[in-house]
């Protein structure tokens, strides 16, 4: 049953070995080189990227064999969990959000010219990308609310609108944006939207500010608020065709949620480890914290919650592989509800056991917390996913 | 990955068909025939037992191929879930607690004579049995607290003590008790205990009262408080040998917990179904309950929790099959912590949506609740299992 | 601030002394005399009622000085908490539900003749009464759903309908029912309902069954399902006038909820005491349960939750006294949401610490649990009260 | 009962009017002037401080009438709640932590010379102060763990040690530190510690870094890690006498916790308001968020939790006034357990309803969250306070 394929296990082992040899020992350097720093090219990262690429531990996320090893969701999931354990790791292996989702979109929905121009350098780890979907002025979890417009004008499209939580746009190497907007507000509800490729250096595209998450700016990638004012791109930048935006969004979300969730599971595991280490090391009132049964109950509950969440994600991945993203949409909604909240809870416990150290940056826990908390909102708030699950459940009741 | 074997799927299908054809339609009759009734032989049950036996849907729980189809834990688990959906079902298929555990003990640790005398009629569904472990005067989750004595006297053993929560002893067909006691209080901590076979009609064995769970007596099986006063049994009734009681207990608990947990998952599923049916049928303040998003959130959360719990149990079953009960003891402890609490929570939500009907006997929910709540205590309270998990986790930290 | 009046403190002291001297020592006898017994006149209760009456500890609940000492809600609340500690106590002091609510209705809304005929014997503790509101076929939390009809026919009214959770109707001394029904389904939403007095022995009134709560029938009072088939009562049995039923219901609910909640707080306190006593008495794995910090955390959290809930109820009582039931409807809704759930939670913890004893009847905890759980539904489910709170809050936002 | 004194109500009204007229309208300016800015003298703050002082809304926290209006804890509590609603407000009215606690210490335990030198300018709002208690290397919630030494050397004391979470030390106006250390590690457990006054500019005192809380540095006050290396102060800087440190700490904590808790209640109220405003303003899937009953349940639950927490704090304040800090130590521990967790929960719900805006700095919610979360650790972690409550409860059980 819970057996991974040999190919998956082989990658897993190699990734774990790489993490042990290179990534964990490099974390302190990475922290130091990126602290409040937007230059985007910390030397340790550059070095490890090259190493990982050389060892073939590269683009493992992509399902299409033309562009990478072609692992299935179920094969890649346990690897993504390992990458999630370290802030730097996803980029080391060229498996970082939002590029993974954007590369998937380009691989799956881009035409040859689009792939050549934008996908190739992304796959090489030479550029980065941004996904512009959410808008500040409307509840964007409802895609029909979106106000950004994409209007045809001759052989160009003109983009106007305001986006935020455009993640990755802070990076100096970020070259291309995939932008969701409406090209026909009068079309059928889910045919109004399109996705279009907009080079980040286009005139009229302005990053008006970077958004913090619980005080963290997540440099050097960051989350931007972006204004598009009469931004013009050639007509061939349209992805898949007018009115196909919602369809692309749906296709993008499935694997993206698997990645997000497995990444958070890796973080939750690391928080649990930290909690145990701290509990063993700390004495209060004549007793090791690890000998207190409230702490032990926290450890046990965390183990139960993490393991259940992981199995749920693996199950979703497996169903996506087996029956397709659409058939698995309940399973995908479920992991999006379960995992970020689980991670928030486990990390919160770890923070508590670390005392003042927990809320500071000394153990990385507060930062992890901000990521988990953010993901209860990003990619659709919990409420929207619960609604999706309930709808499918109620419908399935004969 | 989450693929069951063909054999498992075949049994599953046949059991489900049997449930649909015979068990669900017979539930009302069963309720009526057993309400507050200790006679033990409701006609509907007798009839369905015969049918199930004739169709070979019998003793599916037992792993030993000499005594049944020999399904593994992982193969049997999904079947047990289905049986759990109906109060009557486990006995219909001769898979009811505590007999399943007792039959496993006799199959695994009994000698040939013991098996012939006690196991054969149990396997035939002709007798029932009881397991006497917990004692009212001590915290029995700590086996070293046990006070019942089993003393050698010539070629007999003399049993003295008081047990409670001796489940099944209320049944008129209950013939044999497996009793845990100490034969050597000075031996090493886990070698003090023995298990011995005591016929229920032995002189000196007295059922002093039946214990309710919440207000339910669980007739016609029930939970008894039993006094053993100089109860004498032949020496050959000792199981496995003196001082082996703890070892037998350990062996009994693994599969028993899988059964308990899958049964509760079946109940939780049924509660969720009831919740949805009720929500669809009921209107308040001009709106179907199924259109309220608090209700929908309850449905979604219940689905997430049930599915996670099921995966955790399947994982434990699979690990037991693959690596043995001992290697899987963390996984077994985890399901015991997770599943009863999950079931209690889901059933509590279903009760709330049923209003007054939920706490009464009209939908079976309050009764289900009592079973789930009981199992957070029975077979060791949650606290003991959390402690076991924490211990293993902390030890595994290098 | 949190100072009770001298009058309140005086009653409180005398009630506490009475409880210590008579009620607690009589509990075992009461349990024995009422177990599964519907005769309704356990000798111990008869004896203590006479004693309490003689000592002037009688009808302390009623605000109207014509009928009792005339304590305010705030003065009576701490007394009701003490009564809540013992199943028998409310009736001993003639302060038991549903009579308290019914007596309030008669005192407040009954005319002289109605008071003379029905209120006087209730105040004397010679009869009992029932309140027939909830119906099995509709979501009765929405009063406009009610289907029972009360039709004028000459100088009589004819009642037709089906009620359930008619509490107290099992008692042999129950003489009078207050019945809610519709006399004009076409009137304005909250003017359709009337309340009418129906003698329990009226032809056509049939108790079709008694309803259990988690297996408990709450003998000798019980909750009945009652059919009214062409039940005729004289026109003068109408309370306050046609179309005033909703208004009476609103008036009845405020103090009733204070009583229910303070009673549950008494129970929660008693559960906490039981939890601590058990924790001190029980040893597992070489350690008193009272030395485990999970248990200690349970104790601390229970203390925090009980004290907060009590303050909230006192605050509601004080506001009702000061500004009237209507002005305090948010406060009343809040205690109805908070207290039963708090009591359920605290009692559930107490059950867990008692192990098997907790779910049985040995410590009264499972029974207490059933009452707390029931009150998350009775008098309107939590959901309805949350909605009421939210409505007021949102409206108050300028 | 829940009646405040006229004096308290008078201050409350004047403070509320001041908040409406000056503080809320000045918040945007304050945010702008302090963002990542350690200069410490934002003009808007300077202006409002002068205004508040002129209006006599100054030092309302201090109980000693020699130094302020002399409000009791119960009188000041509702005022502190109002101050808590705005980040800037506590300092505007010279009621900001940690100065309030330090001023209390100086007023209560300082001698005349110490008061003249250090208390007077603090009361005038001309200087600020820091409290150095917690240490990074030990679990400081157990005061006996403290490693900082305070050794007599002639007519000086020499301080050596490392502190962190020394709040306020980042402020350019911070002049004086109250430092906890051991002067006699061999004395009786609670007589080993002393508190001593150390000017912040003393040679050997070095702020090695400022600590973020989540990503917030809380400029311009901040939390410092401070090294004391052979820091020498005159003997007359000892507070109260050698070995009295624990006693002073105890005296400081009571009112400090009332302040912290009421401040957080103010924040929770503001988060609830924000939640409701947002819910009314936002539409998704054709429906205002304020019309979703999950959102309404969040609002109702938040109201219930806030009101209960406030009553608990008022009760503690009242008991402190009436019976002294020592008699009220259970009540003080209870509010410390209840309020920060309540605030964290309510703010977390508000964040969720604000979507991406909630985790950013646009609504101040993420910042509020960081403060609430920090206070589950600061001034002793929840676990320590739960233990204190349980100890008192168990002891009180006869």
Q: Are C306 and D269 in contact (CB under 8 A)?
A: no
Nearest residue, CB atoms, C145 vs list B284, B367, B383: B284
CA-to-CA distance for A266 and A379, rounded, in angstroms? 19
Same-domain pairing of D233 and D253:
no
Cβ <8 Å between A284 and D142: yes
Query: Are C359 and B282 a contacting pair at CB < 8 A?
Result: no
| DSSP assignments along B83-139, one per residue | HHTSTTHHHHTT--TTHHHHHHHHHHH--HHHIIIIIHHHHTTS-EEEEE---TTS-
- CA-CA distance, A60 to D188, in Å (whole number)? 62
CA distance C299 to chain A (A): 13
Question: What pLDDT does residue A3 have?
Answer: 83
CATH code for position A269 = 1.20.140.10
Site from B285, B294, B301 to mutate, D interface, most D CB atoms within 10 angstroms = B294
What would the pLDDT profile of C195-215 be if each residue is shown by its tens digit? Answer: 999 999 999 999 999 999 999
Residue at a domain's end among D82, D110, D138: D110
Residue C120 belongs to some domain of the structure: no
CB contacts, 8 Å: B338 with chain A: 304, 308
Asked, for residue D121, whether it belongs to a domain, the answer is no
Question: What is the rounded CA–CA span in Å between residue A91 and residue A129?
Answer: 12
- Determine, for residues A215 and D216 on separate chains, whether the beta-carbon distance falls below 8 Å: yes
Question: Is B292–D297 a contact, with Cβ atoms under 8 angstroms apart?
Answer: no
Interface test with A, best of B295, B340, B390 (most A CBs within 10 A): B390
What is the reported pLDDT for D251? 80
Selection from B301, B282, B305 nearest residue B292 by Cα: B282
Q: Which of C294, C296, C299 to mutate to test the interface with A (most CBs of A within 10 A)?
A: C294
Q: Indicate yes or no: pTM above 0.95.
A: yes
Contacts of A292 in chain C (CB under 8 A): 293
Residue D77 has a pLDDT of 96
Interface test with C, best of B142, B288, B355, B365 (most C CBs within 10 A): B355
> Per-residue confidence of chain A (398 residues) as pLDDT tens digits?
568 899 999 999 999 999 999 999 999 999 999 877 788 889 999 999 999 999 999 999 998 999 999 999 999 999 999 999 999 999 999 999 999 999 999 999 999 999 999 999 999 999 999 999 999 998 887 888 899 999 999 999 999 999 999 999 999 999 999 999 999 999 998 899 999 999 999 999 999 999 999 999 888 889 999 999 999 999 999 999 999 999 998 887 778 899 999 999 999 999 999 999 999 999 888 889 999 999 999 999 999 999 999 999 999 999 999 999 889 999 999 999 999 999 999 999 999 999 999 999 999 999 999 999 999 999 899 999 999 999 999 999 97
Which of C61, C54, C57 is CA-nearest to residue C99? C61
Tokens 């690990």 label which residue?
Answer: B319
Q: Number of structural domains, chain C?
A: 3
Assess whether C351 and C371 both reside in one domain: yes
Contact D355, A381 (CB under 8 A): yes
Asked if residue A121 is part of any domain, the answer here is no
Whether residue A122 is contained in a domain is answered as: no
Element (H, E) at A196: strand A193-199
Q: Do B338 and A308 touch (CB under 8 A)?
A: yes
Q: Where are the beta strands (DSSP E) in B154-222?
A: 156-167, 174-182, 193-199, 205-211
Instruction: Collect all residues from C whose CB is shorter than 8 A from any CB in D.
Output: 1-3, 74, 272-273, 276-277, 279-280, 290, 293, 296-297, 299-301, 303-304, 307-309, 311-312, 314-315, 318, 330, 334, 337-338, 383, 385-387, 389-391, 393-394, 397
Distance from CA of D292 to the nearest CA of B (A): 7
Distance from CA of C196 to the nearest CA of D (A): 34
Residue C116 falls inside a structural domain:
no
In contact, B209 and B163? CB cutoff 8 Å: no
- Chain B residues whose beta carbon lies within 8 Å of the beta carbon of residue A303: 330, 334, 389-390, 393
Residue D151 distance to chain C (closest CA, Å): 37
Residue located via tokens 């020992």: A25
Distance from C-alpha of C57 to C-alpha of A396, rounded to nearest angstrom: 59
Query: Is pLDDT at B1 greater than 70 in this prediction?
Result: no
The answer to whether the CB atoms of C293 and D387 lie below 8 A apart is yes
User: Looking at beta carbons, which residues of chain A come within 8 Å of B334?
Assistant: 300, 303-304, 307
Write down the pLDDT at residue C285. 85
pLDDT (0 to 100) of residue B215 = 92
Q: Contacts of residue D359 in chain A, CB cutoff 8 Å?
A: 213-214, 370, 373-374, 377
Residues A234 and A260 grouped into a single domain:
no
Identify any residues that bridge with C159 across adjacent strands, giving them in sequence order.
C150, C231
Is D139's CB within 8 Å of A217's CB? no
- Report, as an integer, the average pLDDT of B62-78: 93
- CA A331 to chain D, closest CA, distance in angstroms equals 22
Residues C161 and C232 in one domain: yes
DSSP state of A324: -
Q: What is the DSSP letter of A236?
A: G
In a domain, A339, yes or no: yes
Contacts of C294 in chain A (CB under 8 A): 293-294, 297
Size of interface A-B (CB pairs under 8 A): 127
Q: Where are the alpha helices (DSSP H) in D169-292?
A: 245-281
CB contact under 8 A, C213 and B366: yes
pLDDT 10s digits, D227-249: 999 999 999 999 999 999 999 98
Interface size between A and C, measured as CB pairs under 8 A: 8
Give me B213's structure tokens.
């769970």
What digits encode the pLDDT tens for the residues D303-345?
Answer: 999 999 999 999 999 999 999 988 999 999 999 999 999 999 9
What domain range includes position B222?
A: 128-239
Q: Which pairs with CB-CB distance under 8 Å and at least 24 residues apart come from B322-328?
A: B325/B250, B325/B251, B325/B254, B325/B255, B326/B250, B328/B254
**B216 plus B189 within the same structural domain:** yes
* Chain D partners (3+ C-beta pairs within 8 A): A, B, C
CB pairs < 8 Å spanning B and C: 124
Q: Which residues of A touch C293 (CB under 8 A)?
A: 292-294
Tell me which residue in D212, D360, D377 faces A352 most closely, judged by beta carbons.
D377
Residue C134 predicted with pLDDT over 60: yes
Do both D181 and D62 map to the same domain? no
Say yes or no: A252 and A350 in one domain. Answer: yes
Q: Positive or negative CA dihedral for A320, A323, A325, A327?
A: negative
CA distance C199 to chain D (A): 40
Q: Confirm whether C156 is domain-assigned.
A: yes
Q: State how far the Cα of A251 lies from the Cα of A258, in Å rounded to an integer.
A: 12
Helices C329-354 and C382-396: angle between axes, nearest 10 degrees? 140
**Residue A260 falls within a domain, yes or no?**
yes
Q: What is the pLDDT of residue B35?
A: 78
Residue A384 to residue D284: CA distance in whole angstroms = 10
Same domain, A263 and A388: yes
Q: Which of B285, B292, B381 sits opposite C355 (nearest CB)?
A: B381
Give the closest residue to C265 by CA, choosing from C368, C389, C170: C368
Q: Which member of C165, C212, C383 has the closest CB to residue B215? A: C212
Residues D271 and D253 grouped into a single domain: yes
How many H helices and E strands in chain D? 14, 9
Closest CA of chain B from C44, distance in Å: 23
Q: What chain D residue is nearest to C336 in terms of C-alpha separation?
A: D304
The residue from C239, C268, C295 where one domain ends is C239
Q: Are B144 and B231 contained in the same domain?
A: yes
Residue of A nearest to D139 (CA): A284
Residues of B in contact with C355 (CB under 8 A): 139-141, 377, 381
pLDDT at C36: 72
Chains contacting chain C through 3 or more C-beta pairs under 8 A: A, B, D
- Do A11 and A98 lie in one domain? The reply is yes
User: Is the CB of residue D161 less than 8 Å from the CB of residue D181?
Assistant: yes
Residuewise pLDDT in 10s, chain D (398 residues): 568 899 999 999 999 999 999 999 999 999 999 877 788 889 999 999 999 999 999 999 998 999 999 999 999 999 999 999 999 999 999 999 999 999 999 999 999 999 999 999 999 999 999 999 999 998 887 878 899 999 999 999 999 999 999 999 999 999 999 999 999 999 998 899 999 999 999 999 999 999 999 999 888 889 999 999 999 999 999 999 999 999 998 887 778 899 999 999 999 999 999 999 999 999 988 889 999 999 999 999 999 999 999 999 999 999 999 999 889 999 999 999 999 999 999 999 999 999 999 999 999 999 999 999 999 999 899 999 999 999 999 999 97
Among A239, A266, A284, residue at a domain's last position: A239
ipTM above 0.85, yes or no: yes
The answer to whether residues A180 and A290 belong to one domain is no
How many angstroms separate the CA atoms of D372 and D360, rounded? 16
Q: For position A210, which CATH number holds?
A: 2.40.110.10
């Amino acid at each position: 049953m819970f057996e991974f394929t040999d190919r998956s296990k082989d990658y897993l082992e190699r990734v774990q070995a790489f993490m042990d040899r290179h990534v964990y020992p490099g974390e302190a350097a990475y922290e130091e080189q990126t602290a409040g720093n937007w230059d985007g090219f910390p030397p340790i990262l550059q070095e490890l990227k090259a190493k990982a690429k050389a060892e073939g531990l590269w683009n493992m996320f992509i399902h299409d064999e033309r562009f990478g090893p072609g692992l299935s969701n179920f094969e890649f999931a346990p690897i993504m969990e390992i990458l999630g354990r370290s802030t730097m790791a996803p980029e080391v292996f060229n498996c970082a959000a939002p590029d993974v989702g954007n590369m998937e979109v380009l691989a799956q929905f881009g035409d040859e010219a689009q792939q050549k121009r934008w996908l190739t350098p992304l796959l090489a780890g030479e550029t980065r990308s941004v996904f512009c979907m959410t808008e500040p002025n409307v509840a964007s979890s409802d895609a029909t609310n979106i106000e950004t417009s994409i209007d045809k004008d001759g052989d160009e499209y003109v983009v106007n609108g305001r986006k935020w939580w455009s993640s990755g746009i802070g990076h100096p190497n970020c070259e291309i944006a995939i932008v969701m907007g409406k090209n026909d507000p009068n079309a059928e509800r889910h045919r109004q939207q399109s996705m279009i490729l907009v080079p980040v250096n286009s005139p009229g595209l302005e990053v008006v500010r970077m958004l913090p998450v619980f005080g963290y700016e997540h440099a050097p990638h960051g989350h931007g608020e972006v204004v598009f004012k009469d931004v013009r791109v050639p007509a061939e930048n349209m992805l898949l065709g007018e009115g196909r935006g919602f369809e692309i969004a749906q296709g993008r979300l499935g694997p993206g949620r698997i990645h997000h969730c497995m990444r958070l599971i890796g973080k939750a595991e690391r928080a649990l480890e930290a909690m145990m280490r701290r509990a063993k090391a700390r004495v209060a009132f004549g007793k090791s914290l690890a000998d207190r049964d409230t702490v032990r109950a926290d450890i046990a509950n965390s183990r139960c919650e993490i393991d259940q969440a992981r199995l749920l994600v693996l199950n979703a991945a497996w169903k996506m592989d087996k029956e397709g993203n659409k058939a698995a949409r309940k399973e995908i909604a479920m992991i999006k509800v379960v995992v970020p909240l689980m991670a928030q809870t486990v990390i919160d416990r770890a923070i508590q056991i670390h005392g003042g150290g927990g809320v500071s940056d000394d153990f990385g826990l507060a930062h992890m917390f901000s990521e988990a908390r953010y993901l209860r909102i990003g990619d659709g708030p919990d409420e929207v996913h619960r609604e999706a699950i309930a709808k499918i459940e109620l419908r399935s009741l004969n």
